[in-house]
Every structure is written in structure tokens, then in C-alpha cells.
Structure 1
Amino acid sequence: MLTRLCLAFAVLVLSLPSSIGAAEPLALGGRRELFVDTSLLEPLEGRAQLRLHHPTPREVALTLNEPWEGNSSGYATVIQEGHRYRMYYRGHRYLLDPPPLRQAQSEVVCYAESDDGIHWKKPALGLFDWPPTQNNTGHKQNNIVWRGGAETHNFAPFLDTNPQARPDEKFKAVGGTTSSKGLLTFASGDGLHWRQLSETPVVTQGAFDSHNTVFWDPTHQRYTMFTRFFSEENFKGLRSIGVSFSTDFRTWSTPVGLTYPNSPPQQMYTNQIAPYYRAPHILLGFPTRFVARPLSRQAQSLEPVQTRKLFYESIRESGAYTGAEVTDGCFMSSRDGQAFHRWDEAFLRPGREGEGRWIYGDNYQSYGLFETRAEGPGLPNEISLHFNEGAWRDEMHRLRRYTIRLDGFVSLNAPFSGGTATTVPVTFTGDRLSLNFATSAAGSVRVALLDAGGKPLPGFDLTDCDELFGDTVDRTVTWHDAADLSALAGRPIRLSFALQDADLFSFQFVSAQ
């Protein structure tokens, strides 16, 4: 009897399809894929690794020195609309000396614009007076685009790319704090003349006194809002980030906290999360990390020494800070909007001590990546982003532009001794494979195409691949000088990348022009 049962089980197993247990191949289509996580990769081989890269500082983009701006200006948002770049930011000033810390003026929303994303101007809009008068009848030669209540603290606009968006709601925004009992919504047809949409807050659970962000997510066909959040109720636990969703921008889900698998607990201000415009199925985030340190002798000696003393004296009675707190910029990514791969190493460090950015309030990244021309002729465009510096210092508070190569946040990297990475099974459309990579003079990148089981396809092994070397954001892969992959389109394959002293930033299947 036992023998017959064993035979029957063996026959059943042998009769099952061989694909049982195998995952469906990932349909890439023609989208670009970045190496910001390992979700597309099998375990790395050799000395291959994922490497975080860092932005390069450029010129000062904007000095926040107008009477309605000042040392607490910030939470900037940049929107690229064709050849026009728009910037929105809070104008505000605190008085530190003599203590206690207090507001010098009410908060306002300011506007700047640029034709190239590099040179910015503050237009005289003539919308709101400064200093404020009861009936808005005063001097209006300023760049104030909104003046109101709590929403001016963190007014966060975005360009609504929802195809169903009304023309008079082409631009939308959220803003508000606990004093407004949550986040209010706003809309504008031209990005300059704004009106309040919601009479009451649309999201009420959270802390909000940070840069809360929102966008239309084309991948999931919904609006997504990221807000300031705490890991425990009643504003206890870790400073964190919450997420809420809506299909109509009017009714929102209850925020839930983000998760960070394999990353230790850390204090997060801001979030700066948005779909990456070159690969919108991937969300990239640039939160500010808050690090509370004891006021040691070394901490007291870090520049800006005098500002640190003034700040500590101005808030000492609250007991909230020691004056040794420091903020820096981080990087994270997600494919579902809730679980994020967060790098524990800084994306932007506070920098050299003499530059005076080792203080709470500096190194906050603005919201929005935008593409700009490179400084040299014949070079590909770069991604620009802003960080603030000079917080609490009227004479120094400003936004500095930084740049990073296209897709250049994280690379698949290997040293000269080499490393290999193989993808999970995928399908694609198109007939060419394009890579964004950089090598040393002695380095190289090669690509093999394998079947779903991992066996090299004839003519597409590593030894068939023509060696790639150089530094380019768009190079077509060839095998024996041939690039055509149309015969493989729609067929489950794997890609195997062999690197030697090289960084591979992204890949994409494209169609020949």
C-alpha cells in the first residue's frame, strides 16, 4: 500500500508543469530601470555592490534677504514646466538675540522663476502688500504669492499631471500645521493666483509642521501625500513620515507610517518624495535626518559657533534642544509608496566645518528635481536640486544649487577585480539596450542575455558582447557589432551585467530611431 502511494505521488509531481513555483517574468516594457534597490536582481556575485553617489555643489541660486524673507525662510519647491522653472518658498525671520526665540514677522509664500533653472529672479507680482495692511492696500512691489494663516508655514505646490485635472486647478497645493488642525488644499490655474479649495482640513492625523508633499501618481492613478508623522501616538516616538492616498484630491485615506526594512530607527524631518521623472514607477525621497547630540566640547566648537550659542540661549527654557543638533540629507526609494529602501549613509553631509553647516536647520533639500544644462559644451544635461545653508543667519541664509548626473543617485558598482549582477526574468519591448554608465580607463561593462533559466542565449554571452567603456548616459550595447534585439522582445530573459572598475546607473530597452 505504501509503495503504491509513493508511486502515485511521484507520478503527480512529475506531471505538474515545470513552471510551478516560478514567478511570472517582470514586464519592463520600454521603461528605464535604476539600481536604487535590488528588487530586479538576484544575489550579487564577486565584488559587485550598490553604491550611493552624492551631488556636486554649484552656485548660490537664491539669497533670502528681502525684508519679508530672512533666516527662517525655506521649504522650497521647484516645478519645471517646459522651459519655465518656478520656485515657491516660505519667507520668514526669527529673532534670536536677545532670547527667547520669537517671530520677527508673519510668514508668507514667495515666488521666484527662471528660464534655465540656474539663474533665478524674484518678480514684482503686485499681489500682496508688505508690510501687511488690513485691506491689502499697501506697497506691493514684492514676490509674495500668498499670505494667509498656518498654510504659509509649509505651502507645497505641485503641477497636477492628472489628465482629468480642471484647467483652473492645474496647480494644486497643501499647507497647514496643528494650529489649523491639519492640512488644507489650494488650487491655481496659473501658479500665481491661488484660492483655497477645502474649507476644513483634508488630513488631520499627523504633526504637519514640516514640508508635506503631494503629487499625482501615474503608476497607481491616485494622488499621494506624504506628511510629517510620529511613530507613536500623541507626537511621541520617532519623527517619521506618513502617507495618505486620494483619487479626487478631496477625500483622503488615514495616514499610515512608512516602513524602512533593514534600516535602523532614525529621526526624519521632511520627505521630498516624488516619482522620478525619468522612471515614474520609482519613487525617490530625500528626507532630512535629525541627529540629536550632547553639547560636548567638540560640538560647541563646530561652526557656526556664535549662531549655535544664540540658538541655544533662545530656546533653552523650552528644554527641547541642546544646540548640538545637526541635520543632513538622506536618500531613499520605493516601488509601492509605503516600504522604502533607505540609505543610512548621508546623501549630503554637512561638509567642511569652516562652511558653517553643522547646525540644525541647514542641509534641507528643496522639493523637486529639475533638469538643467551642464557647464561644459557637448555634455549631457544634469539633474539640479537645492539645499539651504546659513539657517538662523540673516546675512548668510540662501539656497545653493547642486547637480548630479542623470539617474546618478545609486550605481551597480564593481572594483577592478570585478563583479556580476543578474536580473530576475523580465520581458521587454523595443529592439535595443541602452546603458548609463561610467568606467575608468581600464574598466569595462559587458552584458549577457540569458534565458529564464539562466543559460546564455546563443550569440549573447559575455564573450560575445563588445566591451563598453567610457562615461555616457546613453550607449547602445552590441554583440559582435550588432544591436538588434527585436527577436527577443516579449520573451522571458535575464540580463547579466559584468563590471570591472565601473558604475552602471540605469538600463533601458528602446526602439531604434
Structure 2
Amino acid sequence: MIAAFIAVLLTSIAALAQETEVIDIGSRRELFVDDALLEQIGGGAQLRLHAPTRREIAIKYDQPWEGNASGYATVFQDGDVFRMYYRGHRYLVKEDSFGQAQSEVVCYAESEDGIHWVKPELGLFEWDGSRDNNIIWRGGPETHNFAPFKDTNPDCPEDEKYKAIGGTVTSNGLLTFKSADGIHWSELSEEPVVTRGAFDSHNTCFWDPAQDRYVMYMRYFSEGQFKGLRSIGVSYSNDFADWTEPVGLDYPGSPPQQMYTNQIAPYARAPHILMGFPTRYVARDLNEHGKTIDPVPLRDLLTKSHRRIGTDLTDGVFMTSRDGQSFHRWDEAFLRPGPQEEGHWIYGDNYQSYGLWETAAEHPLAPPELSMHFTEYAWLDDDHQARRYTIRLDGFVSLNAPYSGGEVTTRPIKFSGDRLSINYSTSAAGHVFLEIQDASGEPIAGYALTDCLEHYGDSVDQTIAWKSGADVSSLAGQPVRLRFVLKDADLYSFHFVEDDRNGDE
């Protein structure tokens, strides 16, 4: 009896502690990509996934060493230049066969603005008797998915400033590579550093300064080697040489689905949040309706050549994590295949590149956008390409409210800073209000809802103001709750920052 009473008491104490736990967000930017900070959502408010906007063709895989199976691109900004690495490859698709037409190579392109790309003639490797090409690596299985990154580890040797991983089951796992300039590469590991996994996908890696270690995400099967669902695994290393045994990721609340690529990396504007953009693999039985969806001739040929390539489909999804292991995965597509007439309802299309990078908006006075690439027209020799898409800064998910209104209240938080900036968009009739409450949920004098100015417009950096002004420095360091009240509006992110006189970010 006493033991039972103690157990109930301890459970109550633990629940109370959890309810009153204060989350210290400092001055970091918080996005509404999950409900980690949310305690109550009311009215018509909801978290809404947004889709990227289609832009121009970024690059065509039109060189003899490239072709209809090129892809697995990695893109990142490196100082004043944007770098792109991708596989060059081509398949022969015939009614009675489906196979490689040529060896795989690793190609390089660069850009000054992240929009317009050139393929420099590097003179490093021969192709058909000439070195006039943009090939940076020719080797073994690692060319299938060679994935570079810039190592931000402060202890990284100069000749390893750029690293890469690559390999398949043919190489018995993932090998590592190094470069001092991102162009000239050499082997780093003599043997595979990770051997458990499937690997024949776009595996990714980065340095995590918060945990002082490298993180690798790779293709992984839920029930062992090539058994169960196509999925994603994670492995860690302190030195890029010795890696932990990979474990599969968790997707609480999301039904089983098959993931090909992962494209997981810290989000640069809020690096405590990991974002992933996997390619979702959807196996389908091809019915009479499916046979009528373009590209009809290609689908018919692929179905005869290699059935699942002609019947199955791929699209893009979005997921986030705050611990790198458990991911909030949106089941709705981040990128749909689009209008049937355009011919992207095919296995191999809609693969997203690895990396997000800021680019200028079309309007010269508009804030920058985030860019990404998606593949189009897979298996077509003359048409295979990557297209640029954009999304607003932090614009992946919003706290959305309809015209009838909605609101959200956060869990208790602590912050540092002098003012609160929001990234938001409203209609002409819409608005955003903010009330700052104490930890118990009572409005703080001067920061109540009735004190807040009505905010309407569209800005990625809008300072919230009350009748007394915008200064919130007197509340810094103490537990507070934020109550956002919206009408016909989207709220993408918020963060507390130092006063403009001291500089923003």
C-alpha cells in the first residue's frame, strides 16, 4: 500500500516537473516545423506544410559522360562560390534489357549566384580520349554516390578540409575521401568505415559542433540487409575513422513508408533543428488508369525492361528532428510529381539535391530565398535535368490560421535578447498579435494582448511592438509563455535578438 502511494506520488511529481519545465531557447530562431514548444493550439490554428516554387532549369545532364541516370547532387555555398557535385551516368533502356551504358563518374559545377551554373573544364580525368570535361573523380563503386561536404571541425587538417563518403555493397560499405580544395581528391580510408547498410543511395555526412562529432546518414533496411522497408540509418564518429554501428531512424506517428535518399542536415538559420528531404518510394500496381499517365511511351518501355522501374513512383517528403534519431515526418508530399502532362510521374524523378542555399529573389527589394534542385525526366537521354525550386526563408511549415482565427500558446521558455522578430505573412484583412505571459499563464503588464499592436503584412524580420514599444529585455532570463493570436495568417518562425544598434545576427 505504501509502495503504491509512493509510486503515485513520484509519478505526480514527475508530471508536474514536466509541465513546469522551462525550455531555454536563448536567442536561437525557432521554427514551427514541429510542436516541441507548443502547449495549446486553439481555434482554427494548425501547422501547415508548404511546397517549394518551381523555377528555371538549373543544369542539363547533356554531356557524353553524363546522361539519363545522372543525379545525387550535393550543393553548398563555399565563400563566394557555390559548389555542385553530382554523378554522371547513363542507362541503356531496351524492351529486353535494362543496364549501365557506361561507367559512373563524379562531376563538378559551380556558380557565382547559386542560380546560373557552369561546368568548368578541369583537365583531371580522361573521357573518350579527352580531358576537356568537368569530371573530378573516376574510380569504383564510390562514384555511384560520392557525397562531399566541407568539414567545419576546428581540428580538421588542411588537406582534409573537404571530405566525402561513397560506396555500395560492391565496395563492402562506405569509403571516405579527402581534398584540400574541393577539386582534387584522394582516398582517406583504405577500408570501408561503415559496413552495415545498403548504401546504394545518396548517403550524407556533416560535422556536428554541438555534439563534437561527425554524423552520417545512410540507406538502411528496417529488418536487415535488403529486408523490410527501405529506410534511413544513422552512425556517429569522433574522428571520421571509427564509426558506431548504424541504427534505424524513428518516425513517431507516421505510418510505415519507404525512403530512398535522406538529405538530412542542420538547418543553417536554426542549426539545432535537423531537416531531411527524403525521396519517397511508392510501389504501385499499374492499372489501366496508370498506363494513361505521361510519360506513356517511356513507362511502357520501362515496364517491359525492368517492371518496377516502370510501375513505381517517387516524390519528395519533409521531416525534422531535434535529436537526430527521432524524426517528425510529414506524410503529405513536400514536392508532388505535378501535372500529368509534364511527365514527372515516373520512378527516378523528383529526387531532391542535398543542401539548401540562399539565393536572391526575383524582385530586387525582396528578401533572399532558399534554393534546392529536383531531378526531371529520368531515363530520357536528351531531356534529363535538374530544376531549381525556391521557398521563403524558414518557409517549410507555418502556424496557419484561417479568417475565423486561431491561436497557440507555448510551453514556458527563457530567452535572451532585446526584441522579438517574427517571420510572417497575412492577408490584407489578417493579423498577428502576441501576448507575453508569466510561467503560470497570466499576461504580463504592458505585454498583454490588448497592449500589442496589430501586425499585418509580409516580412521575414518583423519586430513585434506593444503600446509601450518593442523592448522585451526586462523579461529576458525569466520563464515566460508566448501566446500568438492569428487571423488569415501564417507564422513561420520567431527569435529574440539584440537591439538593432548592437546588430542583428
Fold match by TM threshold 0.5:
yes
How far apart are the structure 2 equivalents of 1:17 and 1:425?
16
Alpha-carbon separation, structure 2, partners of 1:364 and 1:314: 22
The equivalent of 1:223 in structure 2 is: 214
Residue equivalent to 1:330:
317
Compare 286-295 and 106-115 and name the one that shifted more.
286-295
Shift of 1:219: 2.4
* Inter-partner Cα distance in structure 1 for 2:301 and 2:402: 47
1:461 aligns with 2:448: yes
CA distance in 1, matches of 2:133, 2:470: 56
1:442 and 1:221 map into 2 onto residues whose CA distance is 48
Q: Which residue pairs with 2:33 in the alignment? A: 36
Contact 2:198–2:225 under 8 Å retained in 1? no
Counterpart residue identity of residue 227, structure 1 = M
Distance 1:70 1:229 in 2: 27
Q: Separation in 2 of the partners of 1:32 and 1:322?
A: 42
Partner of 2:395: 408
Superimposed CA distance per residue, residues 51-85 of structure 1 (whole angstroms, 9 cap, x where no aligned partner): 00000000000000100000000000001112210
* Residue 102, structure 1, aligned to residue 99, structure 2: yes
1:62 maps to 2:49: no
Displacement of 1:166 = 1.3
User: In the aligned structure 2, how far is the partner of 1:315 from the partner of 1:192?
Assistant: 36
Deviations 1:3-35 (A, max 9, x none): xx9xxx9xx99xx99975654311111100000
Instruction: Please give the alpha-carbon distance, in whole angstroms, between the structure 2 residues aligned to 1:24 and 1:165.
Output: 38
TM-score, structure 2 normalization? 0.95
Total equivalences in the alignment:
492
Going from structure 1 to structure 2, the CA distance change for 1:18 and 1:370 (only over 3 Å counts) comes to closer
For 2:285 and 2:126, locate their aligned partners in 1 and report how far apart those are by CA, in whole Å: 44
- CA deviation after TM superposition for structure 1 residue 421, in Å: 0.6
Question: Does the 8 Å CA contact 1:295/1:322 hold for their aligned counterparts?
Answer: no
Confirm whether residue 383 of structure 1 aligns to residue 370 of structure 2: yes
Q: What's the RMSD between the two structures over aligned residues?
A: 1.7
Aligned match of 1:294: 285
TM-score (normalizing by structure 1): 0.94
Which residue identity is paired with 2:59? L
Q: What are the equivalent positions in structure 2 for 1:270-419 lying under 5 Å apart? A: 270-316=261-307, 321=308, 323-419=310-406
Partner of 1:447: 434
Contact kept? 2:430, 2:456, Cα under 8 Å: yes
**How far 1:218 sits from its partner (Å)?**
2.1
Structure-2 residue corresponding to 1:130: 127
Q: Is 1:249 the equivalent of 2:240?
A: yes
- Aligned partner of 1:225: which letter? M
Q: Pick from 64, 77, 81: which aligns with 1:84?
A: 81
Q: Is the 8 A contact 2:95 2:302 kept in 1?
A: no
Contact 1:219 1:280 (8 Å CA) reproduced: no
Q: Which moved more, 1:297-306 or 1:22-31?
A: 22-31
* C-alpha separation in 1, matches of 2:370 and 2:154: 26
Q: Which of 473, 490, 499 pairs up with 1:503?
A: 490
Distance 1:326 1:20 in 2: 47
Q: Identity over aligned residues, as a percent?
A: 64
Q: CA deviation at 1:314?
A: 1.6
- Deviation of residue 43 (structure 1)? 2.7
Q: Extract unaligned runs of 5+ from structure 2.
A: 501-505
3-state SS in 2 of match to 1:297: coil
Q: How far apart, CA to CA, are the structure 1 residues paired with 2:212 and 2:28?
A: 17
> Does the CA-based 8 Å contact 1:183-1:201 persist in structure 2?
yes
CA distance in 1, matches of 2:427, 2:309: 46
Contact 1:466–1:481 at 8 Å: present in 2 too? no
Aligned-pair CA distance for 1:424: 0.7
Q: Tell me, in whole angstroms, the C-alpha distance in 2 between the residues paired with 1:352 and 1:22.
A: 47
Kept in 2, the 8 Å contact 1:88–1:112? The answer is: yes
Work out the CA distance in 2 between the residues paired with 1:162 and 1:278: 19
Larger displacement relative to structure 2 (216-225 or 194-203):
216-225
Tell me: CA distance 1:374–1:256, structure 2 relative to 1, closer, same or farther (3 Å).
same
* Contact 1:183 1:208 (8 Å CA) reproduced: yes
1:134 is matched with which residue?
A: none
For residues 90 and 225 of structure 2, what CA distance do their matches in structure 1 show? 29
Q: Deviations over 1:425-481 (max 9, x none)?
A: 111111000000000000000100000111110110111111110011000000105
Task: Identify unmatched segments of 5+ residues in structure 1.
Answer: 132-137
Q: Are 1:72 and 2:63 an aligned pair?
A: no
**Out of 178, 181, 192, which is 1:187 matched to?**
178
Corresponding residue for 2:503?
none
Letter in 1 for 2:93: L
Tell me: CA distance 1:481–1:20, structure 2 relative to 1, closer, same or farther (3 Å): closer
Q: Please give the residue correspondences for 1:118-157 in structure 2 after superposition, counting only pairs within 5 Å.
A: 118-131=115-128, 138-157=129-148
1:484 partnered with 2:471: yes
Q: Distance in 2 between matches of 1:292 and 1:470?
A: 43
- SS of the residue aligned with 1:120? coil
Equivalent pair of 2:263/2:278 in contact (CA under 8 Å): yes
2:118 partner letter: K
Counterparts of 2:18 and 2:264, CA distance in 1: 35
Question: After superposition, what is the alpha-carbon deviation per residue over 1:113-172, rounded to whole angstroms, capped at 9, x for unaligned?
Answer: 0000000000000000002xxxxxx41000000000000000000111111111111111
Cα distance in structure 1, aligned partners of 2:382 and 2:438: 62
- Provide the residue aligned with 1:117 in structure 2: 114
